[in-house]
Amino acid sequence: MKLEKTLEPDLLCLSHLRWNFVFQRPQHLMSRCARQRRVFFVEEPIFESAGDASGDSVEPQMRERVCENSGVRVVTPHLPAEFLGRCNPLLKELLRDFAASNGIVAPIVWFYTPMALEFFPDSLQPSATIYDCMDELSMFQGAPPELLLLEEQLLRRADLVFTGGVSLFEFKRERHPRVYAFPSGVDVAHFAEARTLGDGYAEQNGMARPRLGYAGVIDERMNLDLVAGMAAARPDWQIVMIGPVAKISPDSLPRATNIHWLGMKGYQDLPNYFAGWDVGIMPFAINDATRFISPTKTPEYLAAGLPVVSTPIRDVVHPYGDLGLAHIASTVEEFVAAAELAMRAGMGMKWRERADDFLQTLGWDSVWSRMDQLLQSACSKNTTDTPDMQVKTHQEGDIARV
């Protein structure tokens, strides 16, 4: 066993998103946080039924694995299926015992969902509490009715509130004294690889041009009528849609010979796909679920050297539309005209230079550095009278690596 000593408190992240889902804000931030402290990323539970043949019961447990690329410790509760819908007391007990067995004392607790308050152990006293509000979850399809009440409780507990965009910041800033806007960042170097790659990767090999592409979750935020209308208006265009389908029926997706639903792709492969596109598109619906979104796709497309066409999402219009870095369109006709203009004009040198200059302020390293400064300040303030909690030792056991 290796004894490890740290001057940094552990971080316990409670998330409604799985680590191996779309690689986005939580993964970027927690990967960087793990460079300086232990990070435990707790996912929603998986419910399992006992094997029909053996008849063995399912043992409630926390299964832990370490992400090889970042060192983040991904913790997944595995619970018997009969606890579905009534698992919070059991989860609270499992999380309390897991913290004790791993030497987690006075951690930083980082919430992505207020729903996690229902199973957070009262005995686990945080050195700081962070609410990273990346989306207005209460406006999403199927949002639990108790979510808003739990958010009020979380706001009373939180030392810091971060928001995933400026419009969400404006919506939350009167509800807490320390709210900070942190719009979506981008791994510029990763997506810039698309500028030098070929266009025939995987399913796109031999696909006709021009190609208009979208990469992201496909759910109630997507304007499927707009996608279908574009494909019908320009049958010579190829519409490439990458990402998992969530909370909507796959049967609702429009079908046409020039619409290509390619499914979920690995984050590392996205530059290869982007390299074969002529325009990056964001055909979002304008509804409650998109009212406060700040799409990560905008800076990713720009880093890849793609012109961008989007529906009028507020955090895209300001600043990207205002700066001339994105074309904004609402109807099928406007979207087609904007895409034609984008392909005709291309990413000229001055446009690309302006885009690249702007992107330098949005790197995930920069975003995390600014968050961490606020985090360190909050921890120092809360632990002034308890310095003994700042230094601790723990044993590192055998953990499966993925």
Cβ contacts of residue 196 below 8 Å, gap of 6+?
275
pLDDT-derived band at 140 (thresholds 50, 70, 90) equals confident
CATH assignment of the domain containing 9: 3.40.50.2000
Considering the chain, what percentage of its residues have pLDDT values greater than 70? 91
Contact (Cβ atoms closer than 8 angstroms) between residue 38 and residue 72: no
Provide mean pLDDT across the span 391-399: 29
Q: How many CA atoms lie within 13 A of 300 on its CB side?
A: 26
pLDDT single digits (tens) 73-117: 999 999 999 898 889 999 999 999 999 999 999 999 999 999 999
- Say if residue 272 is in the same domain as residue 378: no
Residue 77's H or E segment, with its range, is: strand 73-80
Which tokens is 366 given? 């920069």
β-bridge partners, 74: 41, 65
Distance of CA 112 to the CA centre of its chain: 10
- Residue 62 is classified by DSSP as E
Q: What SS3 state is found at 85?
A: coil
- Say if residue 145 is in the same domain as residue 240: no
- Say if residue 210 is in the same domain as residue 82: no
* Entry pTM: 0.87
Which tokens is 278 given? 């002529």
- Say if residue 224 is in the same domain as residue 152: no
- Say if residue 97 is in the same domain as residue 222: no
Across 362-395, b (16+ Cβ under 10 Å) vs e yields bbbeebbeebeebbeebbeebbeeeeebeebebe
Contact (Cβ atoms closer than 8 angstroms) between residue 162 and residue 141: no
Beta strands in 192-237 (DSSP E): 211-215
Q: What are the backbone angles phi and psi of residue 224, rounded to the nearest 5°?
A: -70, -30
Q: Give the whole-angstrom CA distance, residue 402 versus residue 389.
A: 31
- Say if residue 152 is in the same domain as residue 254: no
- Say if residue 208 is in the same domain as residue 274: yes
- Say if residue 102 is in the same domain as residue 7: yes
Per-chain mean pLDDT for the chain: 90
Q: How many CA atoms lie within 13 A of 239 on its CB side?
A: 26
pLDDT single digits (tens) 226-284: 999 999 999 999 999 999 999 999 999 999 999 999 999 999 999 999 999 999 999 99
Which tokens is 333 given? 């006709």
pLDDT-derived band at 44 (thresholds 50, 70, 90) equals very high
The closest of 72, 302, 343 to 190, measured between CA atoms, is 302
Domain that holds residue 66: 2-185+363-401
- Say if residue 157 is in the same domain as residue 221: no
- Say if residue 47 is in the same domain as residue 172: yes
Domain count, the chain: 2
**Res 401 pLDDT > 90:** no
- Say if residue 122 is in the same domain as residue 266: no
- Say if residue 66 is in the same domain as residue 118: yes
Q: Give the whole-angstrom CA distance, residue 108 versus residue 196.
A: 41
CB atoms within 10 A of CB 63: 13
Q: Give the whole-angstrom CA distance, residue 102 versus residue 85.
A: 28
Name the least confident of 6-20, 58-72, 160-174, 256-270: 6-20
